[in-house]
Amino acid sequence: MTKKHFEIGHILLVLVLCIAAMVGGTRASRLPAKAASEEEESFVAEGSILAKSILTGPGEQAEEAPVWQRTDRLRRQLMKDAVPESWDSRYLGKTGTIRNQGDLSTCWAFASLSGVEAYLLPEEKQDFSVDHMITYCGFGDRAKSGGTFAMALAYLTAWRGPVYEKEDPYNDGQTNPTAKVRYHLQEAQLLNNDPAAVKLAVLRYGAVQSSMYADEGILVTDDTTSYFNSDCDSYYYDGTEKTNHDVLIIGWDDNYSAKNFVKTPPMDGAFLCQNSWGSEFGAGGYFYVSYADTRIINFAMTYSRIDPVDVYDHIYQHDDLGWVAQMGFDELTSWGANVFTAKEDELIAAVGMYAVQPGTDYEIYYESDPDTSEFSERQLLASGSFKYAGFYTVDFDKKVPVEEGDRFALIIKLTSPTQGNQLAAEAEENGARAVVNSRESYISADGEHWYDAGLTLGCNLCLKVYTIED
């Protein structure tokens, strides 16, 4: 993939549009959902060329290493942490209802909400509404023909859901805009291609949502195919096709024999997965995927903090579509800022933000009535580091009071281990309309010289603010 850049003054500014390969994996359609096409376009902004480069997706990395190298690395990674040789979250009551997506390519939403359910089980035993997620994620009819983890995060981190299935039943031709939001997602970790981290997350949070490649055979039959063994309910794919299906990892078995697969993988061991093709598939809706599968956990996400709805009172945000792009300067550090106007007297308690790379260091600042050309009066509120990429909430030790009508800014400085574009951003994405205004989001290379992201890039910064009533 080629990149183009443009300069404002002497500052190199980069926008990368990140569109993950959409996954659907519907059996009734008899064909996998098509992955997002790769294309490049450019347009003129203030006399300079800005390139939009479409990637495989935020944080999703295809595994292309030789088999021997991949297998050796897998063995080392799987030995990193002291975890049991096998695990099954069903024994702790951490798995929800086996459901059937039918003829819609909505596996991404089923896997996402099943992951939310796993976090809350066994105390919360309600199914959550997939219909509501695909209707209100912000991506229109596209959500019924394939989706991405970013689409699920857009819905959940904006507090538009989850809602109970009984309040908005699946695929009934109706929707319920007044369904009550039951919880607020405040953290989700991306554990791509890290099997040891995936295991720990299953232990801690119940499940991990994962991409995979489902071959056409398994999409149309329950019998043995080139990659699926119906006698053992096991799957191993060793090819290079893009991911097209999402499942939920709920356990593993290090000693699961390589002989149980149609093709013999180079090592024993498999993840135990929950599917969304009904209880007739596999062993009551569950099946094993080999550790050596080339597409399992290329993308892997776990929900690691879900709050009751009364932890914070209000949310401020500009990014309804969430992380669909990345802004930055192709350097180690980027600065971003969002400006809001207080709706009432309240206390700023926390921010929500993305880390697009693992090992990202952050600093968070506040400024009242900001001068957006400099943000020179900012005050440090918090600093730290995120081990994994993902969405995080940072709570402040000292809450900041604001009064109704006050303009205020939250400013972030993000530093990553490798050069790149550190700021998650919302932008127009594959027909989904982003509402982008000027004087809301800003970007800087050095924290001193700032540019309006809405005017310059057509983007909103993904940075949310949570308040409590004063």
Q: 289: domain CATH number?
A: 3.90.70.10
- Indicate if 197 and 97 belong to the same structural domain: yes
Domain annotation covers residue 62: no
Check whether residue 170 and residue 231 sit in a common domain. yes
| 279 and 348 co-located in one domain | no
Looking at the structure, do residues 232 and 133 belong to the same domain, yes or no?
yes
Residue 28 structural domain: 6-53
Pair 155, 247 in one domain: yes
- The tally of domains found in the chain comes to 3
CA distance 162 to 337: 28
Distance set, CA 87 to CA 123, 144, 207 (Å): 20, 33, 11
Q: Other C-beta atoms within 10 Å of 150: how many? A: 28
Where a domain ends, among 304, 323, 339? 304
Tell me whether residue 27 is in a domain: yes
**Residues 394, 277 share a domain:** no
In 378-413, which positions are buried (b, 16+ CB within 10 angstroms) versus exposed (e)? Answer: beebbeeebebbbbbbbebeebbebeeeeebbbbbb
Residues 351 and 300 in one domain: no
Q: Do 282 and 229 belong together in one domain?
A: yes
In a domain, 249, yes or no: yes
Q: Is the overall model pTM greater than 0.85, yes or no?
A: yes
Residue 318 belongs to domain with CATH number: 2.60.120
426 within 8 A of 432, measured Cβ to Cβ: no
Q: What is the sign of the dihedral through the CA atoms of 390, 391, 395 and 401?
A: positive
Q: Which pLDDT tens digits describe the chain residue by residue (470 residues)?
A: 323 344 444 455 666 766 556 777 765 443 333 333 333 222 223 322 233 322 223 544 555 555 555 556 655 555 566 689 999 999 999 999 999 999 899 999 999 999 999 999 999 999 999 999 999 999 988 888 889 999 999 999 999 999 999 999 999 999 999 999 999 999 999 999 999 999 999 999 999 999 999 998 888 777 888 999 999 999 999 999 999 999 999 999 999 999 999 999 999 999 999 999 999 999 999 999 999 999 999 999 999 999 999 999 999 999 999 999 999 999 999 999 999 999 999 999 999 999 999 999 999 999 999 999 999 999 999 999 999 999 999 999 999 999 999 999 999 999 999 999 999 999 987 667 889 999 999 999 999 999 999 999 999 999 999 999 98
| Residue among 101, 189, 98, 100 at smallest CA distance from 143 | 101
Cβ–Cβ under 8 Å, residues 252 and 272: yes
Question: Do 37 and 154 belong together in one domain?
Answer: no
Is residue 44 within a helix (H) or strand (E), and if so which, with residue range? strand 40-45
Strand runs labelled E in 356-388: 360-368, 379-386
